[in-house]
Each structure stands twice: as structure tokens, then as C-alpha cells.
Amino acid sequence: MSTDHNNAAKGDFAKTVLMPGDPLRAKYIAEKFLTDARQVNSVRNMLGYTGNYNGKEISVMGSGMGMPSIGIYSYELFSVYDVDTIIRVGTCGGYNENVKVRDVILAQAACTNSNYISQYKLNGHFAPIADFETLLKAKTVAEKMGIKVVVGNILSTDMFYNDDSEAWKQWASMGVLGVEMEAAALYMNAAKLHKKALAINTVSDHFIIKGTDTTPEEREKSFDDMIMIALESVILQ
Ligand code: HPA
């Protein structure tokens, strides 16, 4: 069985899927970190792979950018392919001086300005949150590996280019640590389908601390650190 967006067969995906935004990052992760990786999805070049990490089967697939995109792919992974856990591995912009470029944020929760939530017809404001056990495992392995992580709230925005260039400051004033475009929809799908999700984001740019551009090597190293946190957390007993 396949879907309009995924030509993998049922059983092709592992119970846990890592999701970078960029499908070429999915390919990079499969080739660098997994053994016996095979490609399972090719539709729209949203590459998906399944392989092994330290004897455990793990999948990796691109999510695309934004909540409509990750909304589709994560919904199908959870509901059609029986995936239990999705760990987003992405980047975010920094909103807080205590979080620097290349630091890793474990998104305990994800605020949003998106309309995705309206489908559930809730009489109030839903709080999209990470799965606690998945979050705790990621924090535990990061500490063991000596990689600095910050746990807290992020914003999943619909607007990368916001006409109101000051809008971010209101979120920052509420202690929101950074901004990306996917976690809230992933967390809502997981909540609705009784599944587990976590977003891990490396800070790639900063709204306050300027002039901290990173070299390609530094970016690769911090991306690899984030992947190692995700992979090691999956095999942690
Ligand atoms: N805004 C939205 N999404 C992002 C950003 C940003 O500044 N950086 C990385 N993902």
C-alpha cells in the first residue's frame, strides 16, 4: 500500500523516523549514520530511507518546509505506516540571548500562529507538546555526550518572511527560545493520533546575536551532533 505522497510499502518504515526538512539531509543521514540503508520513498524526491543504527531499525525521511508539508508526511507515517515516534531534526532562528548559534534546542512545546489547530474544533487554545519520555531520553544522551542542549518553548510560524519585522519580539518576551516552521503541526498530529513526537532544532541564525555566521564545517559538525542525539536517544533503553 502507498499514498499519493509516499510509495513505500506497508512495513517499509521503522517504528521511529527521523525527519529533517531537507530530503537531501535525509539521504546524508542514511548514508553517514545508518547501515544497510535502502530507499523507501521517492515521490516528489521527498527521500525516505530505512536502515540500522547499532542493531536497531530506524528510518529517516524529509518533511519539506512548513506545517502543511510536515502535516501530510507525518500524518501518513503515523496513520498508514504505523510509525510510533517521529523526531524532527531541523534548524531554527534564535530568539533568546542564552541560546547561541549552533546550540541545540529540544522543543518541549511549540506555539504557533498557524491555522492548523482549527480542524480539531477546540473551544480554546491547545498547547502542542513533545512526548515527555522521548524528550527526556534526548536530554539524557546529550548530557552523556557533552553536547549543550536547551529545553523550552519554540514558535512554529507560517511566515519565514513576516511583514511585521518586530512580531518576533512578543514571542521572545514570553520566553520562546526560537522559531522554525514545523514542530507544532507534528505535535498536533501526534496528539490526535496518540503517537509520540519531538523536535530537535539546531540554532542556525539569530534575531539578537548578530555576526555569528558559521562555516560549512561548523554547520556540518553541529548538524551531526543533533543527529547523534536523536539516534542515541532512540537506542537508549
Ligand atoms: N525563521 C523561521 N524558520 C527558521 C528560521 C527562521 O529564522 N531559521 C531556521 N528556520
pLDDT at 118: 97
pLDDT at 101: 94
Residue 80: which of 9, 177, 136 has the closest Cα?
Answer: 9
Q: Which amino acid is at 205?
A: D
Which atom of ligand 1 is least distant from the CA of 91? 9
**Does ligand 1 lie within 6 Å of residue 205's CB atom?**
yes
DSSP string computed for 16-37: EEEE-SSHHHHHHHHHHH-EEE
Q: How far is CA 196 from the centre of its chain?
A: 12
| For residue 235, pLDDT beyond 80 | yes
**Does ligand 1 lie within 6 Å of residue 107's CB atom?**
no
Q: Rounded to the nearest whole angstrom, what is the distance from the C-alpha of residue 70 to the centroid of ligand 1?
A: 15
**Does ligand 1 lie within 6 Å of residue 160's CB atom?**
yes
Its pTM stands at 0.97
Is residue 88 within 8 A of residue 81, CB to CB? The reply is no
Q: Phi-psi category of 98—alpha, beta or left, where left has phi over 0 and alpha has psi -120 to 50?
A: alpha
Q: Rounded to the nearest whole angstrom, what is the distance from the C-alpha of residue 164 to the centroid of ligand 1?
A: 15
* 53 Cβ neighbours under 8 A, 6+ residues apart: 33, 34, 35, 231, 234, 235
pLDDT at 38: 98
**For 164-211, how does the pLDDT look when each residue is reduced to its tens digit (9 = 90+)?**
999 999 999 999 999 999 999 999 999 999 999 999 999 999 999 988
Residue 202: which of 111, 80, 107 has the closest Cα?
Answer: 107
| Per-chain mean pLDDT for the chain | 96
pLDDT at 45: 98
Which amino acids are annotated catalytic?
Answer: 205
Q: Give the mutation target among 25, 88, 92, 96 for probing the ligand 1 site: most ligand atoms within 8 A of CB.
A: 92
**For 6-45, how does the pLDDT look when each residue is reduced to its tens digit (9 = 90+)?**
999 999 999 999 999 999 999 999 999 999 999 999 999 9
Q: Rounded to the nearest whole angstrom, what is the distance from the C-alpha of residue 35 to the centroid of ligand 1?
A: 31
Phi, psi of 41 (to 5 degrees): -130, 140
What's the half-sphere exposure (Cβ side, CA atoms, 13 Å) at 200? 32
Is residue 29 within 8 A of residue 20, CB to CB? The reply is yes
**For 204-231, how does the pLDDT look when each residue is reduced to its tens digit (9 = 90+)?**
999 999 887 678 788 788 899 999 999 9
